[in-house]
């Protein structure tokens, strides 16, 4: 059965933790869906892990739609949430509603996610009014990297912690169905999770949130040497891939690949006749 916003809400109420991973393509989405992951995030992190940019700022609506459609095809049960890219919801509320609509209509997402707190209340309200579920995202919001001056833990001072709590409450009031809490102290995330009736999904926010999300290349050991503290590597697929690719190259050089079982044959007399 397809997971929906209601499934997530029930999971919070029943204290069943929500599992979420990023996905950017059909075959990976299908693997995650079959493994029983509850929700897939087509994150704008795709700019970094799939397209090789240094940050998420240059990701376009077209990029998001293209990857979102592929993920949606692979997600039979998982709930698909697609990120609104930088500048697709900042200029005007009508832009924001229009672009959110494109991620649903063209990207086949079931919900959208946008970064920001109270200052985006009106935007979240307007998108929600168009019957598009909105997931909030506060704490470390990577689209604000230039404003933050780098990727840093947020909400460590009293003022900053208070602002993040206020933002969470404002997003819930504006109609968000869930909120991602990124790189904030665990006790602050726990407090927010208690105060909200909607689910919280943590990344670098401790284990008291209603769910967890990670970028899959990070948790499978496929992306770079950069290793945020909050990532746990569940596999070393990058190393496995390199080993397999090197073996492939060697076997080509040594004429061990392809072997007879990978090869098509023809009656020898046909070749003999052609040789004459
Ligand atoms: O783009 C992304 O992958 C995200 C998650 C890390 C929450 O926004
Ligand atoms: Na994102």
Ligand 1: lining residues by beta carbon, under 6 Å: 22, 41, 43-45, 83, 137, 180, 182, 203, 213, 215
Other CB atoms within 10 Å distance of the CB of residue 91: 10
Instruction: Supply the Cα-derived Rg of the chain in whole angstroms.
Output: 22
Q: What is the pLDDT of residues 193-232, one digit of tens each?
A: 999 999 999 999 999 999 999 999 999 999 876 688 999 9
Annotation-wise, does 45 bind a ligand?
yes
Annotation-wise, does 95 bind a ligand?
no
DSSP 178: E
Annotation-wise, does 92 bind a ligand?
no
Gap between the Cα atoms of 79 and 40, Å rounded? 6
Q: How many A from CA of 113 to the centre of ligand 2?
A: 8
pTM over 0.90: yes
Is the alpha carbon torsion for 79, 238, 141, 25 positive or negative?
A: negative
CATH number of 5-236, picked from 3.40.50.2300, 3.40.109.10, 3.30.465.10, 3.20.20.60:
3.20.20.60
For residue 224, the model assigns a pLDDT of 77
Work out the angle between the directed axes of helices 121-129 and 158-174 (0-180°, nearest 10): 20
**Domain residue spans in the chain?**
5-236, 240-275
Q: How many A from CA of 215 to the centre of ligand 1?
A: 7
Residue whose CA is at the smallest distance from ligand 1 atom 4: 43
For residue 225, the model assigns a pLDDT of 66
Structure tokens at 48: 């970094």
Q: Half-sphere exposure (CA, 13 Å, Cβ side) for 78?
A: 30
| Percent of the chain whose predicted confidence (pLDDT) is above 90 | 96
Q: How many A from CA of 43 to the centre of ligand 1?
A: 5
Mean pLDDT split into 10-residue runs, the chain, 276 residues = 96 98 98 98 97 97 98 98 98 98 98 98 98 98 94 96 98 98 98 98 98 97 84 96 98 98 97 96
């Amino acid at each position: 059965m397809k997971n929906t916003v209601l499934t997530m809400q029930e999971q919070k109420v029943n204290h069943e933790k929500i599992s979420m991973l990023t996905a950017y393509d059909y075959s990976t989405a299908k693997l995650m869906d079959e493994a029983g992951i509850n929700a897939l995030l087509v994150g704008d992190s795709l700019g970094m892990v799939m397209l090789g940019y240094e940050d998420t700022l240059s990701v376009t609506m077209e990029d998001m739609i293209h990857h979102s459609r592929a993920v949606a095809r692979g997600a039979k049960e998982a709930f698909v949430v697609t990120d609104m890219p930088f500048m697709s919801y900042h200029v005007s509320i009508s832009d924001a509603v229009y672009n959110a609509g494109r991620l649903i209509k063209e990207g086949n997402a079931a919900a959208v996610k946008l970064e920001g707190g109270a200052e985006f209340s009106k935007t979240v309200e307007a998108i929600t009014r168009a019957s598009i579920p909105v997931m909030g995202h506060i704490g470390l919001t990577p689209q604000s990297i230039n404003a933050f001056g780098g990727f840093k833990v947020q909400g460590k001072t009293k003022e900053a912690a208070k602002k993040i709590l206020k933002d969470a409450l404002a997003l819930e009031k504006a109609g968000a169905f869930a909120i991602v809490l990124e790189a904030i102290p665990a006790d602050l995330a726990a407090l927010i999770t208690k105060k909200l009736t909607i689910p919280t999904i943590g990344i670098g926010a401790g284990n008291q949130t209603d769910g967890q999300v990670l970028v899959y290349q990070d948790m499978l050991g496929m992306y770079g040497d950069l290793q945020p503290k909050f990532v746990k590597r569940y596999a070393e697929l990058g190393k496995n891939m390199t080993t397999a690719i090197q073996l492939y190259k060697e076997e080509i050089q040594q004429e061990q690949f392809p072997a007879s079982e990978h090869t098509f044959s023809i009656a020898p007399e046909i070749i003999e006749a052609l040789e004459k």
